[in-house]
Structure 1
């Protein structure tokens, strides 16, 4: 109870500084420490966010893609050393033929990113010439990057890359013979008990799904329905509840989705970013004193910010889901400072 009170005091303080809209869930060794929902899932109708509200998590769902690939490796149908030209028959004329699945998973492939932050800094610019309502399948993203040249030699360095995860999703489809989102629903969400999560389209959102809001400097706001692809895929865009996200960490830690060996490979620091963090397969890894401090995933889109983490030493798991463009990181850091 004391931990809960201290956490709520910190959450309230951050909310006064940066008005938050979303759900925060923290558990320690399975025991609930705090569950708080703030703001509105629908501002126009003043429908409040609740524990069961579904939120978009942007790139946070790259972990789902990595798990799907690891499951196919576990069955022996592909390996991490498999080259993409061996399992995809799409036209990639300027891509290096030596690119492996491991390099795609770890953002070290060098393939051109369809959202290249060296070229643009506003995600909405992507949909000027290619309307977002056409982006419903993974192959719809190919024209955004498949004719471009390599950014660097495969394996040379780390550079965060969305296109690589589109290719991984296409590999899942090709190898499994199933649509990517259907595969994730069946083999990950259902097995982990994530029954409220899914890849929903903007024009057919189910109940208890938060709309994403973009706040303007003048105090006005708009939803993000014209800012993102109409349906998420292997690089981002799924919807989860905070509780479902903690179920995913539990399922991974209990080897319900992957065997112990593959789980360890997913959680291995394979590449180091310029900022000093590490990347496994679909998951960020932070070290302190050469020990693993946390495994975490994050996602940012217009009207979306998301952080979820697992701290192995303390067995704390948290999810901070928000239907606004900022605030989730600050909430997570406050929780870390209080508990860890």
Structure 2
């Protein structure tokens, strides 16, 4: 089966010109581990198993785990109101917004990047350059005085700003910066030694540059297209193997008790059809059964998918340093393994 999946991945990569790394594991057995393309095109440095990739919103689950840890520590609770968690002023926000609403994208607050209004993520940095975006509070002016889109709990609407607020809540409750908290309480506990929230202008070795391909065949890197440092809504760097280590630690209750882990992985809100959302994680159901838990991230120069399939005990990560390509490789793996 391993040879079959390798062959299908290679064929799909030739067709799509996927650039990145793939790691697939079933139980303790590795089904596939491969890398393609360049981490640095100018220097022709190849992507390898140890290459770190940006994962955009794929790391919202780290934020959700952190909040859940602080709930277990008695420093927060899921039904706690936003107004009781942060000292910042939000003049038009509904006072009934809770941490649960923020975790499940049901708060109704305005987003700093609203896909219903804006099409290009790079438009955000016209008035406020991305190289100023180093701390969570730097995002507040984008949405702090905005008006509610709907009443809290009314419906699901994907929202990055809600996770910025969760990051600020983590900082206030823990006394650590968001990045310090995640690196100490998640990355270290899971053995994710290559992962971190690295600044785009100070990337460590073995880190892939993100590439934006243009229609005329030219390209540019994404250094001027995304915030200089990631935070609670996205922007961590990981290796594909590190992401699988995260799933293993989560499912082994390394981060949280079994009860709290179950709460994080519970399908709290329906997105559409068989798609649900837990705390920081997407959930695909098949009838009454969970088909997969998955996270994804897309930014200019970044595409990422990672999933856990409980029935087959398969965990995988597909990391790419191009704006698209991860989803196509994910589908090939799912078809080959009949997931």
CA RMSD of aligned residues (A): 0.7
Distance in 2 between residues matched to 1:328 and 1:63, nearest whole Å: 18
Q: Which residue of 2 aligns with 1:17?
A: 15
Structure 1 segment 151-300 matched on structure 2, within 5 A: 151-274=149-272, 276-300=274-298
Partners of 1:17 and 1:155 lie apart in 2 by 43
In structure 2, the gaps of 5 or more residues are none
For residues 308-323 of structure 1, the aligned pairs below 5 Å read 308-323=306-321
The two structures have a TM-score, normalised by structure 1, of: 0.98
- Measure the CA separation in 2 of the matches of 1:27 and 1:184: 24
Measure the CA separation in 1 of the matches of 2:231 and 2:323.
20
Identify the residue that residue 116 of structure 1 maps to in structure 2. 114
- Residues of 2 paired with 1:103 and 1:14: CA distance? 39
Q: Aligned pair 1:104/2:102, yes or no?
A: yes
| Counterpart-to-counterpart distance in 2, 1:15 and 1:315 | 25
Unaligned 5+ segments in structure 1 are: none
Of 39, 45, 48, the residue aligned with 1:47 is 45
Residue 275 of structure 1, CA deviation: 5.4
In the TM superposition, what is the alpha-carbon distance from 1:87 to its structure 2 partner?
1.1
Q: How is 1:321-336 mapped onto 2 (pairs within 5 angstroms)? A: 321-336=319-334
Q: Find runs of 4+ consecutive structure 1 residues off by over 3 angstroms.
A: none
Distance of 1:334 and 1:290 partners within structure 2: 25
What aligned pairs does 1:13-92 form with structure 2 within 5 A after superposition? 13-92=11-90
Residue 118 of structure 1: how far off its partner (Å): 1.1
TM-score normalised by length of structure 2: 0.99
Partners of 1:260 and 1:330 lie apart in 2 by 33
